[in-house]
């Protein structure tokens, strides 16, 4: 497990997403997660939806299921699943900005709550399926993240987790530096390895059904984000004021775009989709 040199609290994570709200929506889009270039010919929007579709495929969604989105962002994936598969979605986010946007885009079958996943309040065995797309990284107590998921899932339920991971084995000094900076500026309390996630899920009572390493199919996300960010800096005074002005706590995240792309290219960072069964 890689840890940043400064503690990252849940409040810091919420501030990160509140402060960078416009940046995420304009640069990443409503899904707020990596794109998945299954064929390599997808547009950015199609690739983002393709990652959600891969999660749905791993979960085996069918009409009538109750599903939990752990760290739902603006609720875009939740709305997609509700409309496409006929499932009922409960999403949780820690960001007020994301919650307000998700609530404003109210959709049948989707309920969004503003809360910390570790204090979610859902009853035991409430859900048939649950998923976390790039949200477990922001939770310091990952053992409790998995324990809560196991608690709220019914017997035979599945959990899908898309996670940014450190490569397995020993890290050189450059790789360690890259990942520490990514954790610090990206507000990640810790970045685990595949082995860490397998062990944590197993301790919570899950069985590992499948692990898909799709690092090579998602890393294009960051070249696109860099290109869009540079274009915005050149054309939009708001971006220049945010980056070069005072007051913002999370402006250093702009540099993290380059660090993440470098970490993918060196192999220091991986991206895996885990499928767990209760």
pTM: 0.95
Q: What is residue 77's predicted lDDT score, i.e. its pLDDT?
A: 96
Q: Residue 58 CA to chain centroid, in angstroms?
A: 16
Answer yes or no: are the C-beta atoms of 238 and 52 closer than 8 Å: no
Write down the pLDDT at residue 236: 83
CB atoms within 10 A of CB 211: 14
pLDDT of residue 233: 85
**CA 101 to CA 97: how far, in whole Å?**
6
Tens digit of pLDDT at every position of the chain (278 positions): 888 888 888 998 888 888 888 888 888 888 889 999 999 999 999 999 999 999 999 999 999 999 999 999 999 999 999 999 999 999 999 999 999 999 888 889 999 999 999 999 999 999 999 999 999 999 999 999 999 999 999 999 999 999 999 999 989 999 999 999 999 988 999 999 999 999 999 999 999 999 999 999 999 999 999 999 899 889 988 878 877 776 666 667 778 899 999 999 999 999 999 999 99
Tell me how long the chain is.
278
Contact 68, 91 (CB under 8 A): yes
- SS3 assignment, position 71: coil
Residue found by looking up tokens 């007051």 in the block = 247
Rounded Cα–Cα distance for residues 242 and 51 (Å): 30
The pLDDT value recorded for residue 27 is 83
pLDDT at 8: 84
Nearest CA to 132 out of 115, 154, 119, 149 is that of 149
């Amino acid at each position: 497990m890689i840890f940043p040199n400064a503690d990252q609290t849940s409040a810091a994570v919420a501030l990160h997403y509140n402060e960078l709200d416009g940046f995420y929506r304009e640069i990443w889009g409503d899904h707020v997660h990596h794109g998945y270039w299954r064929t390599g010919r997808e547009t950015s929007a199609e690739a983002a939806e393709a990652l959600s579709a891969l999660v749905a495929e791993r979960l085996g969604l069918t009409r009538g299921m109750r599903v939990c989105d752990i760290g739902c962002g603006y609720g875009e994936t939740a709305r997609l699943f509700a409309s496409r598969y006929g499932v009922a979605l409960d999403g949780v986010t820690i960001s007020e900005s994301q919650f307000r946007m998700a609530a404003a885009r109210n959709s049948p079958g989707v309920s969004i709550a503003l809360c910390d996943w570790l204090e979610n309040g859902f009853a035991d065995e409430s859900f048939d399926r649950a998923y976390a797309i790039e949200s477990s990284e922001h939770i310091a107590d990952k053992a409790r993240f998995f324990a809560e998921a196991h608690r709220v899932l019914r017997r035979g339920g599945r959990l899908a987790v898309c996670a940014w991971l450190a490569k397995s084995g020993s890290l050189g000094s450059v790789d360690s530096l890259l990942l520490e900076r990514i954790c610090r500026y990206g507000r990640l309390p810790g970045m685990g390895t595949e082995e860490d996630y397998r062990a944590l899920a197993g301790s919570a009572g899950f069985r590992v059904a499948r692990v898909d390493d799709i690092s090579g199919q998602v890393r294009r996300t960051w070249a696109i984000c860099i290109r869009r960010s540079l274009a915005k800096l050149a054309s939009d005074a708001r971006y220049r004021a945010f980056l070069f002005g005072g007051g913002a706590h999370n402006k250093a995240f702009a540099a993290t775009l380059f660090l993440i792309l470098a970490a993918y290219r060196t192999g220091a960072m991986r991206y895996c989709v885990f499928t767990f069964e209760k």
